[in-house]
């Protein structure tokens, strides 16, 4: 049995994509069912229910937020996860090089490889790809679900430009060994990729066992702007203003209220501890995907 989970209000093309999913799965021999979410965190409940019922695979049709919810439902189970991207950033799709078409993604159920990925956790919530604290997370909070749905990635840039005019909170990072460092923004990565296809953590590896921390140390609006430009130019990790650290855990606090996001969705306020766990999820990826190496061009 295969269970398909999707958000019915995830943009105007979602129904078209679900129709293609239904047609492709109907051409096969494995029975399937399609379930739509009714609200926030519903995908987690539907995925957990599927795993407990012994479903072979869950197909998540949506963006990184939907994928995160399904991952939280499948964490620690044997049920496989396949992603059919439909969302704003689709960072996971870029990270592993998923096919561009619905049919190409579904073909991975028989032709792809299943990898076991240890999950990271922010507070009580698992995340698969990336979390952040400070400026980036506050922008995610400000843009909201409506902005993402109708403006796509442009919503992030609009919210970011407006947020630069506000006071930027100072953060404190606490690393293992009682190391305590100030920061302006903190990115906690499992994979390499950030939104828009840029590489945030060059040494990120979904199949690895550690977190990659990328932290902007220098305060101020201009520092944030320079950091963003350097990220686009793939030069940020060489900046003296940026700390790059591999670690199993990190605690982030703020002097004034600040935010945390996980896999592109607002989580809540600081403080939050980010840490690796022994809990894993089984994910179907293209056979060409090689952990921390770039996935290259996506097949059709």
Do the beta carbons of residue 286 and residue 295 sit within 8 Å? yes
Q: Is 60 exceeded by the pLDDT of residue 141?
A: yes
Closest CA to 91 of 227, 204, 2, 225: 204
Residue 22, helix vs strand vs coil: helix
In the numeric block, the tokens 């809540």 are attached to 268
196 to 152, 199, 246: CA distances (angstroms): 11, 9, 23
Do the beta carbons of residue 280 and residue 118 sit within 8 Å? yes
pLDDT in tens, 263-289: 989 999 999 999 999 999 999 999 999
Measured at the CA of 179, the angle between CA 174 and CA 182, to 5 degrees, comes to 60
Of 43-47, 100-104, 149-153, 237-241, which gets the smallest average pLDDT?
149-153
Measured at the CA of 35, the angle between CA 30 and CA 39, to 5 degrees, comes to 155
Neighbouring CB atoms inside 10 A of 236's CB total 23
Residue ranges of domains in the chain, CATH in brackets: 2-121+280-285 (3.40.50.10330), 126-277 (2.60.200.40)
How remote is the C-alpha of 51 from its chain's centroid?
21
165 to 16, 71, 129, 142, 231: CA distances (angstroms): 40, 35, 29, 13, 20
Closest CA to 172 of 292, 256, 54, 294: 256
Q: What percent of the chain has pLDDT over 70?
A: 87
Q: Average model confidence (pLDDT) for the chain?
A: 89
Neighbouring CB atoms inside 10 A of 293's CB total 10
The answer, yes or no, to whether the previous bond of 61 is cis (omega within 30 of 0) is: no
Local structure of residue 88 (DSSP, 8 states): S
pLDDT in tens, 62-76: 989 999 999 999 999
* pLDDT-based confidence at residue 164 (cuts at 50, 70, 90): low
Q: Is 60 exceeded by the pLDDT of residue 42?
A: yes
HSE-CB for 179 with a 13 A CA cutoff: 9
Of 44-48, 123-127, 163-167, which gets the smallest average pLDDT?
163-167
pTM of the predicted model, to two decimals? 0.88
């Amino acid at each position: 049995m295969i269970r398909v989970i999707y958000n019915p209000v995830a943009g105007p093309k979602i129904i078209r994509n679900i129709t293609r999913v239904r047609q492709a799965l109907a051409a096969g021999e494995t029975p399937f069912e399609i379930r739509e979410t009714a609200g926030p965190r519903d995908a987690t409940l539907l995925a957990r229910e599927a795993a407990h019922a012994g479903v072979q695979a869950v197909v998540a049709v949506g963006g990184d937020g939907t994928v995160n919810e399904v991952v939280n439902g499948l964490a620690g189970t044997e049920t496989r996860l396949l992603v059919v991207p439909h969302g704003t950033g689709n960072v996971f799709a870029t990270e592993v090089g998923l096919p561009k078409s619905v049919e190409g993604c579904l073909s991975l159920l028989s032709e792809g490889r299943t990898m076991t990925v240890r999950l990271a956790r922010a507070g009580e919530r698992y995340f698969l790809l990336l979390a952040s604290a400070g400026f980036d997370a506050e922008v995610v909070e400000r843009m909201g679900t409506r902005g993402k749905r109708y403006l796509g990635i442009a919503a992030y840039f609009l919210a970011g430009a407006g947020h630069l005019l506000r006071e930027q909170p100072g953060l404190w990072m606490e690393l293992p060994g009682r190391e305590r460092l100030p920061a302006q923004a903190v990115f906690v990565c499992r994979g390499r990729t950030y939104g828009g296809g840029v590489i945030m953590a060059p040494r990120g590896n979904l199949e690895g066992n550690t977190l990659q921390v990328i932290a902007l140390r220098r305060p101020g609006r201009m520092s944030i702007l320079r950091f963003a430009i350097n990220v686009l130019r793939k030069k940020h990790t060489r900046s003296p203003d940026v700390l790059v650290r591999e670690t199993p855990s990190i605690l982030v606090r703020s002097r004034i209220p600040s935010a945390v996001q996980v896999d592109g969705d607002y989580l809540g306020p600081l403080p939050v501890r980010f840490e690796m766990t022994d809990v894993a999820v089984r994910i179907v990826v293209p056979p060409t995907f090689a952990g921390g190496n770039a996935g290259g061009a996506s097949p059709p």
